[in-house]
Amino acid sequence: MTLDEKIGQMTQFSGSLPEYESMIEEGKIGSLLNVYGASETNRLQKIAVEESRLGIPLIFGLDVIHGYRTIFPIPLGSAASWDTAFVRKAESIAAREASSEGINWTFALMVDIARDPRWGRIAEGGEDSFLGSTMARAQVLGFQGKSLANPLTILACGKHFVAYGGAEGGRDYNTVDVSERTLREIYLPPFKAAVDAGAGSIMSAFNEINGIPASANRFTLTDILRGEWGFNGFVVSDWNSIGELVKHGIASDKVGAGIEALKAGVDMDMEGSAYLELLENEDNNKELIDNAVRRILREKFQLGLFEHPYIDENLSNKLILNDEHLKTALQLARESIVLLKNDNALLPLSKNLKSVAVIGPLADDKNAPLGTWACVGKSENVVTVLEGIKKSVSENTQVYYSKGCGVSSDNTEMIEESVKIAKKAGVAIIVVVETAKMSGEAASRSDLNLPGVQRDLIKAIYKTGMPIVVVLLNGRPLTIPWIKENVSSILEAWYLGIQSGNAIADVLFGKYNPSGKLTVTFPRTVGQIPIYYNHKNSGRPNNPSDKFTSKYIDLSSSPLFTLGYGLSYTKFKYSNIRVSSKKITSSESLIISVDVKNVGDRQGVEIVQLYIHDVVASVTRPVKELKGFRRISLDANEKKRVEFILKPENLGFYDQNMEYVIELGRFEIMVGGNSVDLLRTSFEVIEK
């Protein structure tokens, strides 16, 4: 390969501009993103394979984040299902649809841990490393299947490496300054899980990490990713994140930026033209370039692109939006819904109710449910909340509808009319939202209240004294203390994708008993941030009756809703927590068991959660850490004994010398249906 051809493999551009065709023919481009459709990808592939000197096939990348055309819930939503098997199935469907239209590579899974809901990309991630790691594994296996040689699989990409979610102020792209211990215990584990599951690529992030930008960070990209973890796929930069090293101030020009990124371990330059600049640079590091090219070609071979570079142009008709895909989208959407409150058991409603009012600015909107990163999803395929409700109620039920207000507007003129409409009905379902553009990339919010006058709309209808249900469509935790305090029934419905309206209606009318649990903490106010469940105790843990302890003088220190929280239309009772031994050595496993009984009158799914607390250690440890969960179905009055196996590696942490250790001493064990209401016991790690 000539230097031009090598650098070409390391260069990716977005779109299919005419000038790219001659560059492909000259072997100067190895990948395109945002090009899809079997005929278009085959046309461009033909240039690479049949007209360039070496005939190396292109790899086509796209952000297939939560579906291709069959759009599933946003990741923050589907994670609330805690159903890793179903998430894996959804990603395998996304892979089948995307690959049938010429895509070989997705820029997913996004596994950035986020503890700051002002950051719009929390919509794509979550707060906990253990859950993030289990979801990472499920997604890689979903996208890549058993073998990448299967033409209906696509290469996964763990992103954004690393700690992108730690941005100061929750402002996207902003500075990240974290200890190595936090880096290793909070931000890195989901990426390790993706690598261990066989992810073929990793994307380097925009942000700096403790003074070194992620796309020029040899410590993370080479020492950890390749040295410690043995990752042998390739690293692609995020969009021009190599070129942005100049803005970061660690390179004076693009050549310098390219050299920094190459030395750190970035193999492919997304839409930056930085590596192309290396062609002019004499002292090219031949070995680094050869290594980068080798890694990229290895994945192209793994994908079978050399043997089968083209896609059957009739394939997608059989796959896109087929019945199986639609059924999967509906079930995952149902499982992603979290019942936050249901006092007086107003829900589920009877589908034979006399009348219902559906109120809200986007209650009949076909765009919002697609959420951020909606790939090639089309609003025409979306079932709105109003449509779902109309399909679910009996033919004699009168359904009223009113927008009530705008999303962000401060205009309250429509509220009075909406109150009149609501009062005609026996119950009001008020759908309040962020727009899909208010979360995702470059969508940080300084205020987490409902936008506009939506809370005024709820208050106005609340004042009538009629029964109301609030349904939230949002891409991040929102500060809704008044709603939690005053509204008797609240559903968290995220952006659930194309089956949104059907899933919400199935929960509202009891066809599906809600089982979702939050994977992020909801703060009471933005002033509480950062607030997360696995916090440290400090030397003066919050004690409301002692002034001189860690708290606010003007607000409770507890969150509005905690990680792991979610209700059901039935109730589950936990009892009889046991450990297989009260003493184990650091090379033995422990079995924890607990009885869970459905004490209500209908079937339900419960997500049983296991937390640990290392009571005394050589460094401070979180007050609790999620280390296991089981998603179990119980019929009315059914009881199951649930078991967890806790392995030694689940007990470890990085000590003062940054060595991963399991120390002797007492551990608390906690099991329950959320991260607060927990049965407790303990055990001890003793000398061997």
List, by residue number, the catalytic residues. Answer: 238
Residue 394 Cβ vs ligand GLC, minimum distance, rounded to whole Å: 45
Cβ-based nearer residue to ligand GLC, 239 or 512: 239
The whole-angstrom separation of Cα 53 and Cα 648 is 54
Question: Nearest Cα to 75, choosing from 445, 321, 524, 439?
Answer: 439
The whole-angstrom separation of Cα 608 and Cα 593 is 11
Q: Which of residues 111-150 bind ligand GLC (CB under 6 A)?
A: none
What angle, 0 to 180 degrees and rounded to 10, lies between the N-to-C axes of helices 500-508 and 385-392? 50
Q: Is 148 exposed, middle or buried, given 0-12, 13-18 or 19+ CB atoms closer than 10 A?
A: buried
The whole-angstrom separation of Cα 77 and Cα 124 is 9
The whole-angstrom separation of Cα 208 and Cα 471 is 38
Site map (CB under 6 A) of ligand GLC, residues 362-391, x = contact: ------------------------------
Cβ-based nearer residue to ligand GLC, 33 or 473: 33
The whole-angstrom separation of Cα 314 and Cα 647 is 49
Cβ-based nearer residue to ligand GLC, 238 or 365: 238
Q: Structure tokens of 473?
A: 């469509």
What DSSP string describes 361-423? TTTT-SSGGG-S--TT--GGGPPPHHHHHHHHS-TT-EEEEE--S-SS----TTHHHHHHHHH
Residue 108 Cβ vs ligand GLC, minimum distance, rounded to whole Å: 8
# residues near ligand GLC by CB under 6 A: 7
The whole-angstrom separation of Cα 438 and Cα 435 is 5
Tokens 């959660």 belong to residue: 609
The whole-angstrom separation of Cα 29 and Cα 245 is 22
Cβ-based nearer residue to ligand GLC, 34 or 538: 34
Please tell me whether residue 107 binds ligand GLC under the rule CB under 6 A. yes
Cβ-based nearer residue to ligand GLC, 14 or 586: 14
| Residues 6+ away with beta carbon under 8 Å from 397 | 351, 352, 353, 354, 355, 356
Please tell me whether residue 441 binds ligand GLC under the rule CB under 6 A. yes
What does DSSP say about strands 105-106 and 59-62: parallel, antiparallel, or unpaired? Answer: parallel
Q: Which of residues 232-251 bind ligand GLC (CB under 6 A)?
A: 238-239
Cβ-based nearer residue to ligand GLC, 63 or 365: 63
Cβ-based nearer residue to ligand GLC, 97 or 238: 238
Map residue 596 onto helix, strand or coil. strand
| Residues 6+ away with beta carbon under 8 Å from 310 | 42, 45, 46
Question: Nearest Cα to 342, choosing from 434, 462, 479, 471?
Answer: 471
Cβ-based nearer residue to ligand GLC, 62 or 315: 62
Cβ-based nearer residue to ligand GLC, 244 or 614: 244
Neighbours of 286 (CB within 10 A): 10
> Residue 360 in contact with residue 430, Cβ under 8 Å?
yes
> Residue 176 in contact with residue 329, Cβ under 8 Å?
no
Neighbours of 281 (CB within 10 A): 12
Cβ-based nearer residue to ligand GLC, 63 or 506: 63
Residue 239 Cβ vs ligand GLC, minimum distance, rounded to whole Å: 4
Cβ-based nearer residue to ligand GLC, 34 or 464: 34
Instruction: Tell me which H or E stretch contains 486.
Output: helix 481-486
CA atoms within a 13 Å half-sphere pointing along the CA-CB vector of 3? 14
Tell me the CA distances in angstroms from 511 to 83, 331, 393, one per residue in order. Answer: 19, 11, 11
Question: Nearest Cα to 133, choosing from 80, 190, 86?
Answer: 190
The whole-angstrom separation of Cα 684 and Cα 613 is 12
Please tell me whether residue 172 binds ligand GLC under the rule CB under 6 A. no
Residue 30 Cβ vs ligand GLC, minimum distance, rounded to whole Å: 16
Neighbours of 659 (CB within 10 A): 9
Residue 101 Cβ vs ligand GLC, minimum distance, rounded to whole Å: 17
Residue 63 Cβ vs ligand GLC, minimum distance, rounded to whole Å: 5
Greatest alpha-carbon pair distance for the chain in Å reads 79
The whole-angstrom separation of Cα 120 and Cα 116 is 9
Cβ-based nearer residue to ligand GLC, 33 or 44: 33
Question: Nearest Cα to 439, choosing from 122, 68, 66?
Answer: 122
> By Cβ distance, which residue is nearest to ligand GLC?
107
What DSSP string describes 166-228? G-GGG-TT--B---HHHIIIIISHHHHHHHHTT-SEEEE-SSEETTEEGGG-HIIIIIIIIII
Q: Which of residues 20-79 bind ligand GLC (CB under 6 A)?
A: 33, 63
Residue 209 Cβ vs ligand GLC, minimum distance, rounded to whole Å: 16
Residue 109 Cβ vs ligand GLC, minimum distance, rounded to whole Å: 11
The whole-angstrom separation of Cα 350 and Cα 342 is 15
Give contact residues for ligand GLC (rule: CB under 6 A).
Answer: 33, 63, 107, 159, 238-239, 441
